[in-house]
Structure 1
Amino acid sequence: MDFISSIIMGIIEGLTEFLPVSSTGHMILTAHLLGLSEDNESVKTFEVVVQLGAVLAVVVLYWNKFIDMFRFTGGKRPYSRRLNLGHIILAMVPAVVIGLLFRDWIKAHLFGPETVLYSLVIGGILMIVAERWSHKSSRITTHDVDDITYKQAFAVGMFQILALWPGFSRSGSTISGGLFAGISRVAAAEFTFLVSVPIMIGATGYDLYKSIGHLNSDDFVIFAIGFIAAFIVAMLAIKTFLSILKRLSLTVFAIYRFILAAIFFVILMM
Structure 2
Amino acid sequence: MIDILVMIKAFILGLVEGLTEFLPVSSTGHLILADHFLHFRQGPITPEIAATFEVVIQLGSILAVVVFFWKRLWSTIDFREGKARNKLNIFHIIIGILPAGVLGVLFQSDIKEKLFGPTTVIYALIVGGILMLVAELYSRKTTPATVTLDQLTYKQAFVIGLFQCLALWPGFSRSGSTISGGLFVRASHSVAAEFSFIVAVPIMFGATALDLYKSAHFLTMDLLPVFLTGMITAFVVALIAIVSFLKLVSRLKLIPFAIYRFIIAIVLLFFIA
Q: TM-score interval w.r.t. the shorter chain?
A: over 0.9
- Per the TM alignment, residue 39 of structure 1 is displaced from its structure 2 partner at its CA by 7.4
Comparing 91-100 and 28-37, the one that deviates more: 28-37
Give the partner amino acid of 1:19.
L
Q: Check if 1:209 corresponds to 2:200.
A: no
Q: Deviation at 1:171?
A: 0.2
Change (3 A) 1:39 1:173: farther
Once the two structures are superposed, the pairs formed by residues 46-57 of structure 1 within 5 Å of their partners are: 46-57=53-64
Q: Which residue of 2 aligns with 1:66?
A: 73
1:38-187 pair list within 5 angstroms: 40-73=47-80, 78-138=83-143, 140-187=144-191
Q: Over residues 15-59 of structure 1, what are the superposed CA-to-partner deviations in whole Å (9 max), with x where a residue is unaligned?
A: 001100111221222212222349711111111111111111111
For 2:48, the aligned partner's letter is E
Alpha-carbon contact 2:29-2:264 (below 8 Å) kept: no
Q: Distance in 1 between matches of 2:46 and 2:32?
A: 11
Measured after TM superposition, the shift of residue 147 of structure 1 is 1.0
Q: Which amino acid aligns with 2:60?
A: G
Displacement of 1:151 after TM fit? 0.2
Moved beyond 4 Å, runs of 4+: none
Q: How far apart in 2 are the matches of 1:256 and 1:165?
A: 19
Q: Which amino acid aligns with 1:46?
A: F
Cα deviation, 1:199-235, whole Å, max 9, x if unaligned, reads 1111100000000123321110110010110010011
**Letter of the aligned partner of 1:73 in structure 2?**
R
TM-score, normalising length: structure 1 = 0.95
- Compute the displacement of 1:73 (Å): 1.6
Pairwise CA distance, 1:115: 1.0
Distance 2:46 2:103 in 1: 24
Q: Distance between the aligned counterparts of 2:104 and 2:252, measured in 1?
A: 32
Query: Aligned residue pairs: how many?
Result: 266
User: How many angstroms apart in 1 are the aligned matches of 2:266 and 2:26?
Assistant: 15
Q: Give me the whole-angstrom Cα distance separating, in 1, the residues matched to 2:104 and 2:74.
A: 28
Counterpart for residue 222 of structure 1: 226
Q: Is the alpha carbon distance of 1:156 and 1:39 closer, same or farther for their aligned partners in structure 2, counting shifts above 3 Å? A: farther
Distance in 2 (CA, whole Å) between partners of 1:54 and 1:34 is 21
Tell me the SS of whatever aligns to 1:219: helix
Query: Counterpart amino acid of 1:64?
Result: K
Partner Cα distance (1:8, 1:18) in 2: 17
- Quote the residue 1:35 is aligned against: 39
Deviation at 1:137, TM superposition (A): 3.4
Aligned to 1:5: 9
> 2 CA distance for matches of 1:242 and 1:165?
24
Distance 1:174 1:29 in 2: 24
5+ long unaligned stretches in structure 1: none
Aligned-residue offset at 1:119 = 0.5
- Whether the 8 Å contact between 2:99 and 2:161 is mirrored in structure 1 is yes
Q: In structure 2, how many angstroms separate the alpha carbons of the residues matched to 1:46 and 1:6?
A: 9
Counterpart CA distance in 2 for 1:26 and 1:147 is 34
Candidates 254, 259, 266, aligned match of 1:262: 266
Question: Counterpart amino acid of 1:56?
Answer: L
